[in-house]
Structure 1
Amino acid sequence: MARNMPDDFDEQFLACPVCMLHFRDPKILPCLHTFCRECLQEWATKQQPLECPTCRTQVSLPDQGVDGLRTNFYVNNLLDFAAAKKGVEPGVPCQVCDGNVEGSKSWCADCAKLMCDSCTLLHRRFPLFENHEVATEVTLKAEEGRSKFHRKRHCEKHKNQELVFYCESCNALVCTACTVVDHRPGKDHNPVEIATVAQKKKESLQALLQDIDPRLKHVHASVKEIERKMANLVPSKEAATEQTKTYFRQLAYILQNREKEILSQIDEQCRADGKTLQTKKEEIEFELAGLTSAQTFCQQAVEHGSDVHILELGNQVQTRVETLLAKQLDLESDWSEFQFVENRDVKDFEKEVRDFGGVKTKIDASKCEVVLKQAVQGFECVAELTTINKEGRPCVTNSKAVTSNMKDPSGTDVPIQLQMKSWGEWEILYVPKVTENHRLEVKVNSEQVPGSPFEIEVKGNPVLTTGRKGSGVGELDAPLGVAFDSDGNIAVVERGNKRIQIFNKDTGQSLRSFPIDGEKAYDLVVDSNGMFLVTSWGENFGLRRYSKEGKLLDTFKPDCMDDPHGLTVLKDGRMVVVNRPEQTSCLLLLQSDGSLIREIGKGQLQNPVFVSVDESRDVIFVTDKSAHKVFAFDLDGNLKFDFGRQGDIDGEFQNPEGVTVDRAGNIIVSNAGDGRVQVFGLDGTFKRKLGTVEGGYASSVVLTPDGYVAVACFHGHCIELYRYK
């Protein structure tokens, strides 16, 4: 609340920010903003979760709702004081006798009544009221009147008792009667006079006030600094705009001058070439005239000359013509058409223009950071850029200040999309069409960020293969079930080595392993608590739960279970187990303790293997190896549909085994017969092929939250990780 408030305090301080009326039963939110109880109740019905109407801070109401919030007694005191101060003005009647408007008035804080002198005197004579606090008109009008004006608080259990003690053990205000009954001093309760505790609390609050003042000054200074910057925003923009225009006008002027120079060269060359061609023309025309004259004379002599004439001039004509014909003539011109030579390709120049200036921002390119994510051919890939200011903090900047380009191994441009993710965080998105190394260049303020240009290795699917046949660390023998543990690592159950081995998802490095019981381990899941659940069939069959460290915790062998294979666990702890006794294969829906809820699919399934549940639709998917199909049941056991048939083309199955469902409801199925991993839509319609695994036997499949599919390769003795989305 405001400190050092004058007695003529602003009426707005007593008004609820919601209804704009005087507070009625004021309640304080945890953010210390006060509102009418009724206003908060109405506000809470319109908004979940509740937010403070003033500062938008989310509020968790106590179990009692708005009624459980603290009452702002300080505001109540001010309201009482305002009413009392107004009551002592001339012409206001006594609130006890309802008649006397003359003389001075007094205010009883306990009764919350304004009284005339007569009623005040009578009030003081009653023993019942002898401890009531009465403020005289002089007190109300004095400068310190408000600070002495307090409404007394009474115990809710003992209505006539004032709250005068504070039980430190219970953190509760109590009355004298409470200290005898419910808060008797002892090891469980420690009632202390309010004044003593209040003084300590005042001292601690005073210390906090001293800490607040420097922070307030700092915040006020920050606000003023921001206001100063906001005031300079438009002038700064205008100055930068003018500088930009001047700069590019100069560039344009240089280009225009260069254009004029080249056009002048063309004109000058045209004149020189014209003169040369004219001279050449005249030379050729001179030779043409000689030949034409000789031709005419010779022709006339032949056609019209007498024998005597021929004999007299024949030799001369012959000599002239032979001389002309023997003469070496340069009849060709070496002139070629004018052609402008582009010393620099326009596209290259366009790229260079990006370096012709830029907006100087507070971002320091030398401190910016780029994180490269795994890149896979044909998928949208991302590199993350953090723009950092000179102080080393992430900072936002305009999108024009950040530029990037990518080239594939052949030098072809790869389209890039740049988008701001959050404060100072950017995503550089691209879809590589080929594998091998790509070159990514990232600039901020036309400057290369550290490490740019980056070499990014683009992989094809699978992006990771881990394991090889053997029993050592990192080696696998007949992997069947695969899952992701609570840390995001790959967990694999090996039938041959009778163990669970954990691999790093990013590097494929073996992290640890532990042995498991059971003769023929089959499937593996990790529940919501991070525990490993493993099925095994044959002798000593069962469903076993192991701790994160590999300690055996439970073994489930209900009477209904005989030959457990595939397994999945629902969010509520229920389990679905593939049970494969001869002639009675089915699914077992079990409680978390292993007790049977119901059997599903009995008489409809031939050779079921793995199972997955789409909990958003309450649909169970189970692969049937012999039927070459996937069956879909609801949790009540009703068959919804099935899809698939035996074959080698897309959409057909060869002994389907692994099955899982993505968030969109698409179904991912692996084949034991040929190693294909395929994706189907909600209704079983084929969508695409994900790949074919090493060794041609794809067992269990599992989908990671970040969009990868891990496949157990039974004959390949490895795990393959595919990019899925």
Structure 2
Amino acid sequence: MAAASSSLRAQIREELSCSICLELFTRPKVLPCQHTFCQDCLQDHAEVQVPFQCPICRRHVRLPRQGVADLPDNLMAASMCERLQNQATLSGETKEQPQSGNRCSFHPSEEVKLYCKQCNVPVCTECCEEGHDGHPTTGLKKAAQEKRSTVQALINEGRNILESYLNFLRSLREKEKTLNEQKQQRDNSIIQTYNQTVQTMVQALTQSKDLLLSESQQNHSENLDRIQTERDRVLADLNELSVACDRAEQELQQGWAEFLSQQTDFTEVVGKYRGKAALTPVQTQPAVFQPTDTPVPVLGHVIAQSLPSAPIPAAPAPIPAAPAPIPTAPAASFGAARGRGHHHGNQRQWEHQPQNVTFGKGGSGIEQFQDACGVTVSEEGEIFVADWGNKRIQVFTLQGTFILQFPTIVSSPLTQFLFGEQKMKPHDVTLDGEGNLWVVGKTHPGEFAVQYNKQGRVLGKFDLQKTRWFRGVAVDTRRNHILITQTTGDLCNPTHGEVLVFRPDGTLVRTVGQQQGMENPHYITVDGEGNILVSDWDNHCVFVYNEDGQFLFQFGGEGSGEGRLINPKGICTDRAGNIILADNGNRRVEMFDKTGGFLKHITTDMRAPQAVAMATKGQVVVTDVYNTVSIFHNY
């Protein structure tokens, strides 16, 4: 039983220990999330954790003006810690005191040797004579033996009660952990639905904007046509009348005979236009734009489901069961007001069977390109296209709707102000783990890797060796490394290629691919396992390396049959690790498995596929040298 008692004390002590210092609470303070810590431990934590978060559940906590000291005290925890310490102290004193016999508290000189059965108290000889005369007594040892079983039963009952409460505390801890996990999943679902809803709203608003602008332009054109028609009619009349007046003046100067002979004709012309002198104003119908009062759509609802009423507990039993668990609502139900997969009936046809989309043409306007090169797609479905000749990045939705564009400037606003704006021709574009863009390209004096945010603001850059060849870029998001292809040599000397691995500040980490005879690498990607895949234009193949740059294998080879390549360019992978490749020379886009085995053709009717990117829902986005962008939903 001593071992059991020690185990229970240890478990109680564990429940009353600070999770930071692992000691009994000292001046315990409770946070809004109901977690308790020592005041000094929280003070130390607050100095290094800004903004302040609970060390257990990571919930953000706004500290009072007076800091940690002004947080509420956990009086119950403090009281229990004090009792536990006092009990340990008393236990230690009892063990240290020598056993010197049981002395009577009323008669200190007498030793207690008897037990009064009537009064149920230990007594000495003098007690029996004074206050317990005639009461039945027995020896103290015999009485202790008779009472031992009863006391032991009470001890066992108490231990069982303690164990039940400890089990209850453990269940509370598990329930708290489960609630935290459910909240995190619920919050993630809310954020995901918000992003999807915003994207859908932006697409719908963009389409509405385009339709309204088209209707506005049509109305404007019709009004201008009315004005032009009236202008042409009046100009014709004006010309006839002007000619008649000029002739009359000329004849009047030449002599009366000529004038009188033509007077009748001139009178008729003037009379003809006398009735037209009051011209009717042109009737136009300019359109008026009236914004709608459509309310903002609601994402959904967080609903705590009701629980059945708990029965009224019966009277406590001699040995109570574990305390009833605290009722909590099941994980809150959550549904998007416009969630996909739950619509029936009048759902749009494209939502069932999305069609492939192709847009773009040559030029410098919106949705026009001068050599559409690199492409990447964000988690939100934004397509970023490197518009090489126009020195810009254009952004579209996965339905091909234009969103925005920004120039690929190299320098910061201050440098632009001092030395003038410097733009580069972008070769390739990719996204890093924080949702920012990395673009590689060249200007007249040099070549650069530039980091932009999604609106085109320059965040950082570093210089690259000047070459005359194409570059590709990818990001290893797990290590935050920037991978860039590079080809050196010229038309008179053999070229050789490699992959340079940089940190975001431009520090070179390693060089990959020098030993495998890479000649002219174009595009590059990093798959979900961190493997590096590089398309080699001149070798008509793809090189594959592990995340540390060790060569694994290559596949392809010049040819037009299945699995053969001619001048491969863009490359990416899907969630399963399958490889999507732009087979430029064969005018097709193909899919291979993660070992390089041919799987299928995605399309075989492109003119010159350039770059490829995979969207979150499996769409394949392909740029073409002939200034188009294609989005393949079904392949």
TM range (shorter): 0.3 to 0.5
Larger strand proportion of the pair: 1
Question: Relative contact order (alpha carbons < 8 A, sep ≥ 6): 1 or 2 greater?
Answer: 2
Name the TM-score, length of structure 2 as normaliser: 0.46
Name the TM-score, length of structure 1 as normaliser: 0.41
